[in-house]
Amino acid sequence: MKSAFLASIAFCAVLALAGGTARAASPRQFTVAGTNVRLDIDAAAFHTGPDPIVAWAKRSAEIVAGYYGMFPTRDLHIQVVPQAGDGVRSGKTWGHNGGFIRLQVGRDVTDTQLQNDWVLVHEMTHLALPEVGEDHAWLSEGLAVYVEGVARVQAGNRTQPDVWSEEIRSMPRGLPEPGDRGLDHTHTWGRTYWGGAMFCLLADVDIRRRTQNRFGLQDAVRAITRASGGLASEWPIERVLKTGDAAVGTTVLEELYDQMRDAAVTPDLMALWRKLGVEPDGSSVRLSDDAPLAGIRQSIMRAPVSKS
């Protein structure tokens, strides 16, 4: 059952049944960042025609390859299943046979919806982490949520204020509620997706603090992907975190996991965002370069130039 569970929770994996057959799909083949992509799409099924959908797959793969310094798999098979309505509806990812992603996309999807889509970047991000088991789905989903925003900002596909406002709005849903028993034992939607993303934000900031901003979570996860080969492998979470820590010369990931795995930890998120120079401003945010950790905020969102 390798990795089938990954997307079986909540928003990244709900497979709608209506109209869900990929009839007469004609494959498109292309290469992105050295990865051979096969995209199965019924060319007549979408009002936009197939080209914007092919462009969306390429763009998403480039965004993920930019963040990881490589696309996580050498080959990738994407199946686009048409649905009634518009928008990108859901996705599901498997690690076997090089990587397989099935997407449910509305027949009336617009180019703007494809330009602004998060689902495919989220699904592709799952390919970069080894299978870590259902108790640790918070790590795979949390990384996918966190990396999606950062990677898209780094690629110019999303704005910083948009990502920080979403975090301020949604990350508190990842905080423990009464009765919480830690990330490994509390498999609610909020703790899995946003609790996991909170772990990633805390880790990113702390790695950068302890390394005088020489390294961040991005360097740690790049090393994890290179060493493991991504979702096709099955690794204990301890090995994943140790590999990431070793790459950046800290023990941040292992320490944070020790604190949060079995206990309800409630960090002061608003205080952290203020230190990073993120101030709520109506429905958006104001970014301040005078805040004590503003340099860390800028580094998180800046695409690495030549780092490994």
**Given the rule CB under 5 A, which residues bind Zn ion?**
12, 141, 144
3 state SS of 152: helix
State the Cα–Cα distance between residues 121 and 59, nearest whole angstrom: 9
What backbone phi and psi angles, to 5 degrees, belong to 30?
Answer: -155, 170
Using the minimum distance from each CB to Zn ion, give the nearer residue, 146 or 235: 146
* Min dist. Cβ of residue 14 to Zn ion (A): 11
Helical H segments across 101-171, by residue range: 111-115, 119-126, 137-154, 160-170
Using the minimum distance from each CB to Zn ion, give the nearer residue, 80 or 139: 139
* Min dist. Cβ of residue 24 to Zn ion (A): 29
Q: Which residues pair with 279 in a beta bridge?
A: 286
Using the minimum distance from each CB to Zn ion, give the nearer residue, 51 or 234: 234
State the Cα–Cα distance between residues 163 and 301, nearest whole angstrom: 10
Using the minimum distance from each CB to Zn ion, give the nearer residue, 137 or 301: 137
* Min dist. Cβ of residue 144 to Zn ion (A): 5
State the Cα–Cα distance between residues 264 and 225, nearest whole angstrom: 29
* Min dist. Cβ of residue 294 to Zn ion (A): 30
**What tokens were used for 271?**
């205080």
State the Cα–Cα distance between residues 236 and 258, nearest whole angstrom: 14
Residue that the structure tokens 């023990």 belong to: 251
Using the minimum distance from each CB to Zn ion, give the nearer residue, 173 or 242: 173
* Min dist. Cβ of residue 90 to Zn ion (A): 10
Q: Are 238 and 277 in contact (CB under 8 A)?
A: no
